[in-house]
Amino acid sequence: MKILKNWEVNMSSSFGKNIVVTIFGESHGHYIGVVIDGLPIGTQIDMEKLNEFMSRRAPGKNRFGTKRKERDLPKFVAGVQDGKIVANTICAIIENSDQRSSDYEQFKDTPRPSHADYVAYVKYGTEMDMRGSGSFSGRLTAPLCIAGGIAKQILEKKGIEVQSHISSIGGIRDVEIDYAKPDMKALKECEKKEIPVISEEVSEKIKQCIEKIRKEENSIGAEIECFATGVPIGLGEPNYDSFDAVLAKLVFSVPAVRGFSFGAGFDAVSMTGREHNDEYELNDGVKTTTNNAGGVVGGITNGMPIVFKTAIKPTASIGLSQRSFSISENVEKDLEIKGRHDPCIGIRILPVIESVCALTILDFMEN
């Protein structure tokens, strides 16, 4: 099998134009972390709130996530003093408490289906540390959440709120939310719930669904719906830096994302113009009666709430036997992935989606 030469490697661990975020680290290295450039000097970070935000992503908090425990508390090593931003560039790191590598050995030769093992082998060769998926690990969304959590705090002071909920898991849908007037308070309350949905009834059904999936050593996908209110009109540019395109890129940079849609999204396929168009009304300013646009027309925010959906695939690591192959022997081979995995990774991804949304808004506002 051909190994691509290393000097063809060309990747980017950064994003953003005005607020530039650079993440680093790999799943089983010493530290993972983030460098953020361009945040307003003088900003006071509420560390407790940030840690709470981080904990929504962290594994092990309840039986619907993985059992591994990671503390994932950020340590600011540059640009922050007494919680205040004092330099153009800040850096925070998170220690990887669990660096054991025993689990990974077998995947080096027998790549896990729907994981990056095999493409990484072909692209980078055997020297890359792929334990726990290395640079491809979902663990790298932790430093992303440090940046996103700070961005959320800055936006809140400007009256901009970003919240999300699980809109669907395994065919079970949460209650519908009015896109023109989302109930942000109800969404905020989802933060504290085991299953971040608005309806208690839906929560119970999802719990049963996940419990069943876990017992089968299987996994299940999820749909996340994210809202941002208070976003000013005028963010985004025509052509190739539109608000929705920039956000689409970031959302698709989150591992496990398979779909992204704005406002009415894929429902628009079957809608007529009369149904889909958002008529204007003068009601405490210029508003639209509906919000099928999800707050963005022509690539530019129109002052209505930002609304988008994200499709999350089922966790790729499952205990059930799957067909793979041996790279060295070039024969097909069955594989069982042992260990404790999230039956539904989607419920841990909400703060990540909120992070990329908040960072996109802030980046355009700092323009």
Tell me which residues in 28-87 interact with its own copies (CB under 8 A): 29-33, 35, 37-38, 40-42, 76-79, 81, 84-87
Is residue 365 involved in binding its own copies (CB under 8 A)?
yes
Figure out which of the listed residues 58, 91, 195, 197 binds its own copies, where binding follows CB under 8 A: 91
Q: Which of 72, 223, 225, 354 binds its own copies (CB under 8 A)?
A: 223
Identify the residue among 159, 286, 328, 336 touching its own copies (CB under 8 A).
286
Closer to its own copies by Cβ: residue 176 or 331: 331
Beta carbon nearer to its own copies, 47 or 297: 297
State the Cα–Cα distance between residues 208 and 167, nearest whole angstrom: 16
**Residue 102, interface with its own copies (CB under 8 A)?**
no
Site string for its own copies, 138-157 (x = CB under 8 A): --x-----------------
Q: Using CB under 8 A, pick the residue from 83, 178, 201, 280 that binds its own copies.
A: 280
Q: How far is the CB of 55 from its own copies (least distance, A)?
A: 23
DSSP code for 44: B
Q: Which is nearer to its own copies, 88 or 97 (CB)?
A: 88
Return the closest-CA partner of residue 355 out of 241, 247, 258: 247
Interaction of residue 23 with its own copies, rule CB under 8 A:
yes
The first and second tokens of residue 262, run together, are 């704005």
Pairwise CA distance, residues 227 & 187, whole Å: 9
Contact residue for its own copies among 162, 174, 260, 350 (CB under 8 A): 260
237: how many CB neighbours lie within 10 A of its CB?
Answer: 16
Residues 293-332 that bind its own copies (CB under 8 A): 293-294, 297-302, 309, 311-318, 320, 322-325, 330-332
Binding residue numbers for FMN: 298, 313-317, 340
- Residue 203 binds to its own copies (criterion: CB under 8 A): no
Q: Residue 48 in 3-state DSSP?
A: helix
> Taking the C-alpha atoms of 134, 139, 145 and 147 in order, what is their torsion angle to the nearest 10 degrees?
-20
Nearest residue (CB) to its own copies, 117 versus 354: 117
Residues in the chain: 367
**The pair of three-digit structure tokens given for residue 111, joined into one six-digit string:** 């790549």
Please give the structure tokens belonging to residue 190.
């989802």
Are the C-beta atoms of residues 41 and 85 closer than 8 Å to each other? Answer: yes
Using rule CB under 8 A, residue 175 touches its own copies:
no
* Dihedrals phi, psi of 169, to nearest 5 degrees: -140, 125
Closer of 52 and 118 to its own copies (Cβ): 118
Q: In whole angstroms, how far apart are CA 247 and each of 136, 145, 224, 253?
A: 20, 15, 15, 10
Q: Which alpha helices (DSSP H) does 38-101 contain, by range?
A: 47-57
Helices 141-157, 47-57: axis angle to 10 degrees equals 130
Q: How many residues bind its own copies (CB under 8 A)?
A: 149
CA distance 298 to 362: 19
207 counts as binding its own copies under rule CB under 8 A: no
CA-CA distance, 19 to 5, in Å (whole number)? 33
Rounded least distance, CB 340 to its own copies, Å: 14
Q: What is the 3-state secondary structure (H, E, C) of 116-168?
A: CHHHHHHHHCCCCCCHHHHHHCHHHHHHHHHHHHHHHHHHHHCCCEEEEEEEE
Tell me the closest approach of the beta carbon of residue 247 to its own copies, in angstroms: 8
- Name which of 29 and 230 has its Cβ closer to its own copies: 29
Interacting residue with its own copies among 46, 113, 284, 361 (CB under 8 A): 113
CB of 348 to its own copies, least distance (A): 15
**Considering the complex, what minimum distance in angstroms separates the CB of residue 291 from its own copies?**
11
**Alpha carbon separation from 84 to 18, 88, 104, 323 (Å, rounded):** 19, 12, 40, 52
- Examine residue 360 and tell whether it contacts its own copies (CB under 8 A): no
Annotated binding-site ranges for NADP(+) = 57, 63
Query: Closer to its own copies at the Cβ: 188 or 289?
Result: 289
